[in-house]
Structure 1
Amino acid sequence: MIIRLSIACGLIAITVAIQALFMSAGLHALRRIDERRKFFAYRHPTVVTVAWVIYLIFPIIIDVCLWAAFYYVAEALPSFEEAFYFSTVTFTTVGYGDIVLGRDWRQIATFEAVNGWIIFGWATALMMAVIQRLYFREPEPGRHRD
């Protein structure tokens, strides 16, 4: 059990690092767009918001795949497809319960659910920060939204 819990903690650390790298790169790209194309984000906030939300889904997919790979390699679930489905339902904290882990693995799934809760909260906070910047900043002098 200690080994499995250690692996779960390791997976949480890896997924947090993945999320941090994607978020850092995404924020850097948004800053560059702001610097190079001064008014693009200001004039097209919906386009930037949609692109940002889609971009933030990619690290979540990677995170889910890592957890699914763990379940499959550890033989906690019989196929990668089932492991991916279970991981998606667990990471998103939907928890349908149509696929469940055996008694030896149940506690690990709670770690994944907590991991998903943290990642989604973090991504939501960042989405809101970007949305506030796009929609609620003061217009540049002499400029207005079209």
Structure 2
Amino acid sequence: MIVRLALACGLIAATVAIQAFFMSAGLSAFRQAEKRREDVLIRYPTFVTVAWVIYLIIPIIVDVGLWAAFYYFSQALPSLEDALYFSTVTFTTVGYGDIVLGKDWRQVATFEAVNGWIIFGWATALMMAVIQRLYFRADNEARPGAHGE
């Protein structure tokens, strides 16, 4: 049991690293766009928001896949399809309960749920920060005198 929980902690560390990498790269690209393509950000904030949200879903898919691979290769679940489904409903904290882990594995699933809660909270905070920045910029550009006029 201790080994499984240690592996679960390792998976949390890996998913946090994946999320941090994607968020850092995404913010870097956003900052570059602010410098070089500010006109696009001002004219198309909804498009940029949608692109940003889709971009932030990519590491979440990777995270879910990592957990699913762990369940499958550890033989906690019989098929990769079951592992992906179980991992998705656990990471999102939906938890339907139609597929469950054996008694020896149940505690590991709680680690994945906590992991998903942390990652989704982090991604949501970053989504809101970018959305506020986009729409604050658009509002400022729409005001008379926004460019020192």
TM-score category, normalised to shorter length: over 0.9
Map of 1:1-146 to 2, 5 A cutoff? 1-137=1-137, 138-139=140-141, 140-141=146-147
In 2, Cα distance between equivalents of 1:73 and 1:30: 37
In 1, Cα distance between equivalents of 2:111 and 2:38: 43
CA drift of 1:100 comes to 0.2
- Normalised to the residue count of structure 2, the TM-score between the two structures is 0.93
CA drift of 1:42 comes to 1.4
Q: Which runs of 4+ in 1 moved over 6 A?
A: none
Structure 2: 5+ residue stretches without partners = none
In 1, Cα distance between equivalents of 2:16 and 2:47: 27
- The one-letter code sitting in structure 2 at the alignment partner of 1:99 is I
Q: Deviations over 1:79-121 (max 9, x none)?
A: 0000000000000000000000000000000000000000000
Task: Report the 3-state secondary structure (helix = DSSP H, G, I; strand = E; otherwise coil) of the residue aligned with 2:54.
Answer: helix
In 1, Cα distance between equivalents of 2:103 and 2:86: 15
Structure 1: 5+ residue stretches without partners = none
Identity of aligned residues (%): 76
Count matched residues.
143
In 2, Cα distance between equivalents of 1:47 and 1:38: 14
CA drift of 1:38 comes to 2.4
